[in-house]
Structure 1
């Protein structure tokens, strides 16, 4: 009897393992066809009739599209967050834990931005098996941990063009490359502009070893920027490949960029004016959607308060506070909308045509900070390779423009002791000729 019961128990346990394996394989086979209804990110829902599609909430759709548009413009997830916080953009957050049934619209956070930019679902791809379960022995016991993300090359199922996406797959890949390059302290492509006093950090590389040049500041006070090939010296105690002044280099690249865009300045000004108007219209549309949502929540809170018995103060007091909070939000949205509508079109839209006629004055305008100049330069230039001609004492800059064109600029490298406060030889000659009079 003991032997029979033991064999029956072993067979039953084996059957459970077989059933579990069959269930997993069935789910995997269904996922390979793109029919397994897994949890989807914000902006998508599973429809009963035609499967995966956009969320019917237009406000949520416009918010997600705005995130991709801002990243396409700024090239940095952090800058996208800052710009959207300045515009008062909200994003939904589950109010019931992880059930994803009811939501509260709260100010957008960095994790909302980065999760949208890194999720391949928004590029129209169905992805299954992005994470894995790991089992290890800890103190003689089996411990399982979940949620360990795998690299993209190890995902179990990737079906491109599975559903309608907010962006294309090529743009998604470009976004991942740019996010990886923006990581601090990691090698990669051209990083996004981060401000400072130098124009070309993260954009200029060494023509001898291929490493990115770093910016050092020399001199008293705030100092002046110096571009150096410092990685080999720091990591392997090698001699520096090159070192040259940053102000002269930045000025030379600026002149080259302004000369390159001068023939098309008027067309670019008209395009900038169109983009400015579209940006203002998009901002006004987002505020109007916020106001519409706030008015609906206020009317819903009013109906709940009206349906409650006023004598039941334990419930009526809470409903009254909720109604007042929604009314205050309506007032805030109305004030934001009136502020946007109160701005006159003449004052809101700059004179782009006038700016195009004097590009140098536009570039050096007080309202244009270094971060904006870096972003403008990265829209034109793909990469800059620097080398030093020791015999001629020239810094050779090879500029790789977007579109495949290349140009070369030479910047004279000053001698030791030569600086900007030095009296020119022409002035000294005049002084010597006048000294005998």
Structure 2
């Protein structure tokens, strides 16, 4: 009996708080658990009856680093605040809390409500100075001990991770043998399917397109179930993305790819978010057998990141989409530096309305897209012309590799489903026929396996029928003919079979972005930033409404009047002005006779000698000459 225990304490409950930090400790540290449950005897020795002793063990297997997820601790604090508890018993104060932010509020409530705290060393009164001092020191030492233990464990873990020897969980396709060495999965179907995912992505360049191609071909992805066993499931965007982003497939051991989200609300469950690749804590390359090399992995990461259409937050370009405007996602405003959006209403144009949308300011500029797209496309085709044959041959080789990989994976899928069907048949044949409950389920599994076999065989047959006949290697004569056919890329570019998304994808292979600035007159400055860092500036002549809006409009106006007063016909004036570098408002590089006529009429100038007949080019017969040559009336012609 302690002298601190008074009658007021005995009229209330004595609560024994029991906790173990992890589920493993609950199973292995049985002696510690017995000592904690034995505190009921200590309460009886202090004067409490058996009926007045309660045990709170709801926090078994939970850490005391925080009280956010400890329901037992919250119940204890609530009961103390309601003056229901006269004594709290624990083997050590570390069982109650290892965080001073949880420990000191409990001491305040206990001191206010007159609740005692006891451990193996004695009984303490949080309301007295000496008791508060001792309990405060115990709480501080407990918190320091937690940080010391954590720092030691973390230091050993980081040291092992720095060498790449930390045994982390491996993705599907990589296995660890009995000696701890990481190897590729011995299952050929798994290895081929993973390689196919990387090949398809490098071809189509979007995660969703890879998912659709796999599902169209009936090719499932290898996954691990909750028990870590290999299983096959239909391809999803998240599954394909996890394979493409995992650095283990590039042979790298990585530690610290995620961090905990900073939660302002304490009632929310802490969540992990991915770190940028530059912020990864430890990267040890060439540690695992690789499916792809590290530069290819970085390329894939950049493509996936660039496909996210978060234009202003991450400055990405977004995936190439359908739509005739060529610079969708890569057009930037030269005036305010923001991304320009596309607008198809009223004709295709690029609009910079970021300041208007976010700050209520006027729109920076809007530029008609037709001539800008044509100028950028011409520059792209001109830049690609020297390497066109090499690019076409590499594209043909890559296409052949993808087709071969698809066919190989389809064959593996047939082989896998056939094995699964044979296994289901053997299991069905081994069952006792009288055990209908088991036999019916095994029969159902056998039928399902047979249906999967038929589906895989049908997909393989369809792919074989659709695949063109293999091409023979080119000889020197044939290769020289193919080289002579170089220059086909412009025809491929305008081919109706080439989609808008394909054109945009081709353009982005070389072009990083295009910065546009609409001049005061008819010239738009298009600054092309190539992927290598080179810059090309283009002056694109835009369509305007009148001659006055042309950059050389006044000069052309005066020149027209000068030639018209000299009696030169309109068509000749148009040819002269075109040779001098002038153009009509609606034309890209020529002056139309109608433009000359309108200027002349506005000035009130009449030509003295007007032509009554068209002039025919040399070598072309007139209507009368054709009629005379054929011996027929001119009216018939």
For residues 289 and 238 of structure 1, the distance between their equivalents in structure 2, rounded to whole angstroms, comes to: 60
Deviation at 1:403, TM superposition (A): 3.7
Deviation at 1:87, TM superposition (A): 2.9
Q: Pick one of 164, 182, 202 that aligns with 1:34.
A: 164
Match in the other structure for 2:464:
341
Q: Pick one of 540, 544, 557 that aligns with 1:411.
A: 540
Asked whether the equivalents of residues 134 and 145 of structure 1 are also in contact (C-alpha less than 8 Å), the reply is: no
For residues 148 and 216 of structure 1, the distance between their equivalents in structure 2, rounded to whole angstroms, comes to: 38
Match in the other structure for 2:91:
9
SS class of match (1:192): coil
SS class of match (2:452): helix
Task: Structure 2 unaligned segments of length 5 or more: list them.
Answer: 5-38, 43-87, 96-141, 473-477, 547-584, 599-606, 615-637
Greater percentage in strand: 1
- Kindly report which structure 2 residues correspond to 1:364-379, keeping only aligned pairs within 5 A, or say none: 364-379=494-509
Q: Deviations over 1:229-285 (max 9, x none)?
A: 221222223343332111111122222222333343333333222222212111111
Relative contact order higher in (CA < 8 Å, ≥ 6 apart): 1
Q: Quick check: 1:58 aligned with 2:188?
A: yes
For residues 255 and 325 of structure 1, the distance between their equivalents in structure 2, rounded to whole angstroms, comes to: 56
Q: Deviations over 1:375-420 (max 9, x none)?
A: 11111222222223325x2112222333444333221121137668
Judging changes above 3 Å, is the alpha-carbon distance between structure 1 residues 306 and 434 closer, same or farther for their aligned structure 2 residues? farther
Q: Deviations over 1:175-228 (max 9, x none)?
A: 434333332333314333112121111122222332221111232xxxx21012
For residues 412 and 132 of structure 1, the distance between their equivalents in structure 2, rounded to whole angstroms, comes to: 52
Judging changes above 3 Å, is the alpha-carbon distance between structure 1 residues 240 and 127 closer, same or farther for their aligned structure 2 residues? same
SS class of match (1:227): strand
Match in the other structure for 1:112:
239
Deviation at 1:11, TM superposition (A): 7.9
- Kindly report which structure 2 residues correspond to 1:198-217, keeping only aligned pairs within 5 A, or say none: 198-217=325-344
Q: Which moved more, 1:80-89 or 1:305-314?
A: 80-89
Asked whether the equivalents of residues 310 and 316 of structure 2 are also in contact (C-alpha less than 8 Å), the reply is: no
For residues 8 and 357 of structure 1, the distance between their equivalents in structure 2, rounded to whole angstroms, comes to: 85
Q: Quick check: 1:78 aligned with 2:208?
A: yes
Match in the other structure for 2:592:
425
Task: Give the structure-1-normalised TM-score.
Answer: 0.82
SS class of match (1:9): coil
SS class of match (1:41): coil
Match in the other structure for 1:125:
252
CA RMSD in angstroms comes to: 3.8
Deviation at 1:26, TM superposition (A): 4.3
Judging changes above 3 Å, is the alpha-carbon distance between structure 1 residues 241 and 132 closer, same or farther for their aligned structure 2 residues? closer
Asked whether the equivalents of residues 311 and 317 of structure 2 are also in contact (C-alpha less than 8 Å), the reply is: no
Judging changes above 3 Å, is the alpha-carbon distance between structure 1 residues 12 and 280 closer, same or farther for their aligned structure 2 residues? closer
Deviation at 1:35, TM superposition (A): 2.6
Asked whether the equivalents of residues 91 and 107 of structure 1 are also in contact (C-alpha less than 8 Å), the reply is: yes
Match in the other structure for 2:390:
267
Q: Quick check: 1:236 aligned with 2:363?
A: no
Asked whether the equivalents of residues 137 and 143 of structure 1 are also in contact (C-alpha less than 8 Å), the reply is: no
Q: Pick one of 84, 90, 101 that aligns with 2:229.
A: 101
Asked whether the equivalents of residues 45 and 52 of structure 1 are also in contact (C-alpha less than 8 Å), the reply is: yes
- Kindly report which structure 2 residues correspond to 1:183-198, keeping only aligned pairs within 5 A, or say none: 183-187=308-312, 188-198=315-325
Q: Deviations over 1:66-125 (max 9, x none)?
A: 222333333322233233333332113445xx111242x222001101222333333333
Q: Quick check: 1:294 aligned with 2:376?
A: no
Task: Give the structure-2-normalised TM-score.
Answer: 0.58
Judging changes above 3 Å, is the alpha-carbon distance between structure 1 residues 147 and 424 closer, same or farther for their aligned structure 2 residues? same
Q: Which moved more, 1:69-78 or 1:1-10?
A: 1-10
SS class of match (1:252): helix
Q: Quick check: 1:181 aligned with 2:263?
A: no
Deviation at 1:143, TM superposition (A): 6.3
SS class of match (1:210): coil
SS class of match (2:318): coil
SS class of match (2:372): helix
Match in the other structure for 1:151:
275
For residues 268 and 544 of structure 2, the distance between their equivalents in structure 1, rounded to whole angstroms, comes to: 65
For residues 387 and 306 of structure 2, the distance between their equivalents in structure 1, rounded to whole angstroms, comes to: 30
Asked whether the equivalents of residues 178 and 189 of structure 1 are also in contact (C-alpha less than 8 Å), the reply is: no
Q: Higher Cα Rg: structure 1 or 2?
A: 2
